[in-house]
Structure 1
Amino acid sequence: MRLLRLSFVTALALTVASTAHADQESDRLREALRSATAQARTAEDQRAAVQAKLTAAEQERDRLRKQNEAYRAQVKEAEQAYRQAVKDFNDRIAERDDSLEKWKGAYGEAANVARTKDAERAKLESEATTWKASAKACEAKNVRLVKIADDAVKQYEAMDPMEKVLDHDPVFGLKRVEHQNAAQDFRDKIIEQKAKP
């Protein structure tokens, strides 16, 4: 009986020990479960925070992509505007060069015309000077002709009527030769005064 008691006490001790051990093991498992649950919650919070950061980063990435595309579009527009400005500038330079060439040609023609006109003017001035000198010579000769004509008229007027009749009469034409000689002298003087262009 003793054995039985001993076995019973041993079994009871084992049962109590096993229950105590089971309680300890259960406490330890509970503590591990609590710790695992806390870690899982912390991990879940961290995952949620990382997910939020990832979402924010993706939104920022999308915003930056759109901004980058907008900047690229602006750069493309600026490049096109620059190319157009360069083309317009080159076109204006080409137009200016064409206009310059036209002006140079027109200036050359105008200079040639001016030289021609200047030569013509010099020639005409020379001719005008010659004509002026000729006109003065003619005026001087006209003055002499008037004087000769005046002398002829005075000499004719100085003749008395009887001389005129005797001079023109074919029968008596005594002074006719003198009168013809005087007329010939007047004619010679007039011919000497003839203007020669």
Structure 2
Amino acid sequence: MRLLRLSPVIALALMISPAAHADQEGDRLREALRSATAQARAAEDQRAALQARLTTAEQERDRLRKQNETYRAQVKEAEQAYRQAVKDFNERLAERDDSLEKWKTAYAEAASVARAKDAERAKFESDATTFKASTKACEAKNVQLVKVANDVVTKYEAMDPFEKVLDHDPVFGLKRVEHQNAAQDFRDKILEQKAKP
């Protein structure tokens, strides 16, 4: 009987055992479902975070593309400005070189004119010095000539009428030779004072 008593317990245990087993299986499945749901939520959260990062990265990429395009446009403008500046500089340099050549030519012409004028000035100064010396010499000779003329006039005035008659008289002509010698001396003195250009 003891065995019979045990049988219902065993039977009950056997019956409970599948139910317990089924409950354990359900618990395990519920736990697996909860775990799967949590993982799914975590995966969804991770996907949302990655999607947000992707959106941010795409926005950053678009911003960088726009910035890159802006920089390229600025670089292109800078290159054009640089080329224009180089072109303008080269044109100004060519104009400066042309102006410099013109100034050099004008300076050379002015220098040659100045040299010619300086040579003329030196010649004129030399001529003026020569003329001044010649004028001084002529003035000195003129003074001497006036002196000689005064001597002639003085001697002539000093002659009394009787000497004049004796001098010009062909018969007596006593002083004629003396008078002719004095006249020749005066003529020589006058000729010595003749200016020679």
Q: So what's the TM-score if we normalise by structure 2?
A: 0.69
Quick one: which amino acid aligns to residue 174 of structure 1? Answer: D
Aligned to 1:131: 131
Partner SS state of residue 196, structure 1? coil
Q: Please name the residue that 2:4 is paired with.
A: none
User: Aligned runs of 1:138-153 on 2, under 5 Å?
Assistant: 138-153=138-153
Shift of 1:154: 0.6
1:131 maps to a residue whose letter is F
- Percentage of pairs with the same residue: 77
Give ranges in structure 1 of 5+ residues lacking alignment: 1-13, 168-172
Distance 1:27 1:21 in 2: 10
Quote how far apart the aligned CAs of 1:81 are: 3.1
What's the offset of the Cα at 1:116? Answer: 1.3
Structure 2 partner of 1:39? 39
User: Per-residue deviation at 1:159?
Assistant: 2.9
Which stretches in structure 2 are left out of the alignment for 5+ residues? 1-13
Pairing of 1:51-130 with structure 2 (within 5 A): 51-130=51-130
Tell me the residue number matched to 1:3. none
The offset of 1:28, in angstroms, is 4.8
Partner secondary structure for residue 133 of structure 1: helix
Distance 2:51 2:161 in 1: 157
Query: Hey, what's the Cα distance between the residues in 2 that align with 1:181 and 1:117?
Result: 56
Residues 47-101 of structure 1 show CA distances to partners (whole Å, capped at 9, x for unaligned) of: 1111110111111112212222232233223323332332333233223322321
Report the number of matched residues. 179
Tell me the residue number matched to 1:170. Answer: none
- CA shift digits 1:80-137 (9 cap, x unpaired): 3332332333233223322321232122112212321232233223322322332232
Q: Secondary structure at the match of 2:195?
A: coil
| Paired residue type of 1:93 | L
Q: Structure 1 stretch 76-85 or stretch 107-116: which is displaced more?
A: 76-85
The 1-side partners of 2:151 and 2:181 are apart by 11
Q: Deviations over 1:34-59 (max 9, x none)?
A: 33322222221111111110111111
* 2:134 counterpart letter in structure 1: S
Instruction: Single out whichever of 184-193 and 98-107 deviates more from structure 2.
Output: 184-193
Report the counterpart of residue 174 of structure 1 in structure 2: 169
Q: What is the root-mean-square deviation of aligned Cα atoms in Å?
A: 3.7
